[in-house]
A and B are shown apart, each in its own frame.
Chain A
Amino acid sequence: MSGLAGNLRIDRKNFDTRNGESLVALLQQVQEKHNYLPEHVLRELACSRGLSLMEMYSVATFYKSFNLQPRGKHNIVACMGTACHVQGGEKVLEELSRMLGIKPGETSRDGEYSLDHVNCLGACALAPLVVVDGDYHGNMTAARVAALIKEKLREHKGQTAEALNQEIGQKAQSGCCCARLLAGEINSV
């Protein structure tokens, strides 16, 4: 692990944060690299910067964009801005949560999906808004988001019927809600 923290330098060409001193900027780099903040890196960074682990974690947990757990391969984000809220954003998030079998902030057991909500993405004309892997999907409703996620699941699980069946079996045992949904998909094939 040595040198992990030492290798982190701010690229001055990006005119990004002065002197590489900002801890927030360093943590952002760590997260970009690992997609979360692994404990061993936080420990090493604390050591190299002369901070206590507590000080390190106080920054890492204060800001919403930092994750202390690995994120899924696919990120699903529901916007919870005011415009989204008054047009049913909360129901959309609930439906997402139900379909994926995870709460906002969590990652599915198979490491495929993470679900998050954000305060506002500033694309209020699209309200209610859901972002899947960086693609914006506007004018969502509980029913439309169900169709969208179904389609995404089908795309991502574009494997053989046999493998898919096996996976559904596993998911059903683990009580995952998307199992039922996928089972529905298989029946219709």
Chain B
Amino acid sequence: MDALQTGMRSLPELLNLQQQLKKRREQQQNYLAVCGDTGCTAWGSQNIKGVFQKCLQQKGLDHITGLKFTGCLGLCESGPVVIVFPQGIFYQKVKESDIEEIVEQTLLQGKIVERLLYQDPLSGEKIIYAPEIPFYRKQERILLVNNWEIDPSSIEDYLALGGYSAFGSVLASMDSEYVIGEIKKSRLRGRGGAGFPTWQKWEECSEMAAAQKYIICNADEGDPGAFMDRSLLEGNPHSVLEGLIIGGFAVGATEGIIYVRAEYPTAVQKIRRALIQAHELGLLGENILGSGFSFNVSVSVGAGAFVCGETSALVASVEGRVGEPRQKPPHLAERGYNNCPTVINNVETLANIPSIISKGAEVYRRTGTEKSGGTKIFSLVGKVRNTGLVEVPLGVSLREIIFDIGGGIKGGKAFKAVQTGGPSGGCLPASMLDLPTDFDELKAAGSMMGSGGMIVLDEETCMVDLARYFLKFLNDESCGRCFTCREGLSRMLEMVEAITKGQSSMAEFALLKELAAVVKDSTMCGLGQTGANPVLSTIRYFAEEYRVHIEEGRCPAGVCRDLIQFQINTELCNGCGACRNKCPVEAIEGEAKAPHLIRAALCTKCGICLETCRYNAVIKL
């Protein structure tokens, strides 16, 4: 495998290397996949990997069983996750002390360690193999499936699974027009939020006559509650890179830029490493594989501004300026980065490209809906049982995602709403659960697809408080250029805050709705235009909750602090003193073994007493 040392200069060399790596991989089918994504790492998977390594060495298994520190394996709720291959045995919540047993029992004797298996919360049944867990069984994992099989720091792993074949076939037998035609046939729509057809963006840019063009990968995943782009970059960086290179070829760009947000240091590190590997192998640079096509990629790290997800603001930020959006047209395809034609695609959009080219558009579009092909990754979070990354065909209903895959609501509570589309999106109530997840359907219902964050809310979530949260977010993030966004959002925030404090009136509520409509109609960029959505969609579906706050001065979900009180039920309180000791403001008094009392004037309603009491004596009114 000389190419690994010297780099490749022709297509046959690429095919040859892939073949050799594939063969090598076939001989190494025994391996452990230890999830190395942020979630599992926080639960200690880094140490677990270390202990496995040591244990395998001690038992002399390190030549037989490989160890991969992978990207997100999906079911974050069960972290740290370890999957034993080739069987696919799924072990959850693995601790360092479990490792010896896994090696001893499963690897050496072929037995299952029962207590580490996933237990289906509905049937109580223990499930051995990962693909049989309902969470995975009902998904269609095209982009994420390789996360199980790839060490993201290894380009060999990616090549062995056929990585860069799509790029190879583009170089071998396709021209720009053909590639764009395939993307058009595939019905791929941008996964960043608006769902603009990818082929159209590419065609516009490819038609521009210019010596220099750019393609930018937008990895400024700013929507709170969405982390699929991070997981793709961290779990399978080469798939994104391959998509970017093919995109560069299609639009005639000579340079690609990956714009990653600063909050994702691991993603930055992984993609940088991937770039170095691709360069060394000759998959980037001048005259790639002797084809005459030259392409370089660099990384640009954001500096923390949500509005930079907007394409013109993103370009300003890459250029090193203040990330303010500008008026369009001229579109970026005409005047983008350095005033050159530029196309910007989202991470997940680009990760789809290799599989469209490899499988062919006809096969690809069998998944998805009439208008949008393929799968979509959602980050299913909030009050749902199975938190994690979910990849499903576009068009699957919200109910299937939240209940069949997500396992329903945590702690036996009732479903209240699901928030999709980030701060620009909206909240959909139980009556909309059968809505298909499709760009147009979600928009018509007052929300949007956004980048794929799906935050599940239960009866203990206050919709007015949530509207306040998003308004605060957007108000902080507004660049301040348009008056209606800058002032409108902050006045709306004031009004909603007043509602959460019980200091509003129905007349002011009417004004809020009017102002929301004005902000929507009169700002320049997407942030402002959709800024009123969280308010409008919660008003649309939860108007009664607003009314109760305003007219009755109550928060039915028990969230808005000025409208709730903490009290101690003297019949249940045995005077153990735990709450008194924990209370940070000394608002609780009482003699030992006698019922305690909360002094309302001092209480900050932090809820620590409620959390501390083991006798359910603290109540929230």
Contact = CB atoms under 8 A, between A and B. Distances in A.
Interface stretch (B133-141, B158-166, B320-328, B512-520): B320-328
A36 interface: no
Interface in A33-68: 58-59, 62-66
B298 A17 contact: yes
B469 interface: yes
Interface residues of A, number: 52
A100 interface: no
Interface in B285-302: 296-302
Given A15-B298, A17-B298, A63-B304, A88 B607 contact: yes
A89 B323 CA distance: 28
A91 interface: yes
Nearest to B40: A125
A119 B306 CA distance: 9
Given A17-B298, A86-B382, A94-B606, A120 B224 contact: yes
Q: Most chain-B CB neighbours within 10 Å: which of A95, A118, A123?
A: A123
A121 interface: yes
A27 interface: yes
A146 B419 CA distance: 30
Interface in B458-481: 461, 466, 469-470, 473, 477, 479
A64 B387 contact: no
B305 interface: yes
Contact of A59 (B263, B302, B321, B387): B321
A28 interface: yes
Interface string A85-101: 11110010011001100
A22 to B, nearest CB: 3
Given A18-B298, A86-B383, A63 B305 contact: yes
A138 B44 CA distance: 11
A86 B227 contact: no
A119 B42 contact: no
Interface in A1-15: 14-15
A129 B42 CA distance: 10
B611 A142 contact: yes
A126 B42 contact: yes
A155 interface: no
A176 interface: no
B304 A65 contact: yes
Contacts of B479: 62
Interface residues of B, number: 68
B395 interface: no
Given A62-B323, A120-B263, A142-B606, A25 B304 contact: no
A82 B225 contact: yes
A63 B608 contact: no
A41 B607 CA distance: 45
A130 to B, nearest CB: 10
Given A125-B387, A137-B42, A82 B298 contact: no
B39 A126 contact: yes
A106 B466 CA distance: 26
A82 B224 contact: yes
A22 B303 contact: no
Contacts, number: 174
B301 A136 contact: no
A186 interface: no
Contacts of A76: none
Contacts of A86: 382-383, 455, 457, 461, 466
A21 interface: yes
Contacts of A143: 582, 608, 611-612
B303 A124 contact: no
B221 interface: yes
Interface in B203-262: 221-227, 230, 255, 262
Interface string B79-96: 100000000000000000
B225 A16 contact: no
Contacts of B296: 15
B263 A121 contact: yes
A153 interface: no
A125 B227 CA distance: 10
Contact of B303 (A14, A27, A137): A27
B42 A25 contact: no
Interface in A113-150: 118-127, 129, 135-138, 141-143, 146
A95 B318 contact: no
A62 B322 contact: yes
Interface in B480-498: none
Interface string B366-392: 000000000000010111000110000
A183 interface: no
B620 to A, nearest CB: 13
Nearest to A99: B584
A146 B608 contact: yes
Contacts of B607: 88, 91, 141-142
Contacts of A15: 272, 275-276, 279, 296-299
Contact of B453 (A82, A85, A141): A82
Interface in B400-428: 419, 422
Nearest to A180: B584
Given A15-B298, A138-B42, A124 B227 contact: yes
A91 B584 CA distance: 12
The 6 closest A-B pairs by CB, nearest first: A125-B76, A64-B304, A122-B227, A63-B303, A22-B320, A136-B42
23 contacts: A14-B272, A15-B272, A17-B298, A17-B300, A24-B321, A59-B320, A62-B322, A62-B479, A63-B302, A63-B323, A64-B304, A64-B305, A65-B302, A80-B224, A81-B224, A82-B224, A82-B422, A86-B383, A120-B224, A122-B263, A124-B387, A125-B387, A127-B381
Interface of B: 38-39, 41-43, 76-77, 79, 221-227, 230, 255, 262-264, 272, 275-276, 279, 296-306, 317-323, 379, 381-383, 387-388, 419, 422, 453, 455, 457, 461, 466, 469-470, 473, 477, 479, 582, 584, 604, 606-608, 611-612
Given A22-B319, A65-B302, A142-B611, 10 more contacts: A18-B255, A24-B303, A28-B262, A63-B302, A63-B304, A65-B262, A80-B224, A82-B224, A82-B469, A135-B42
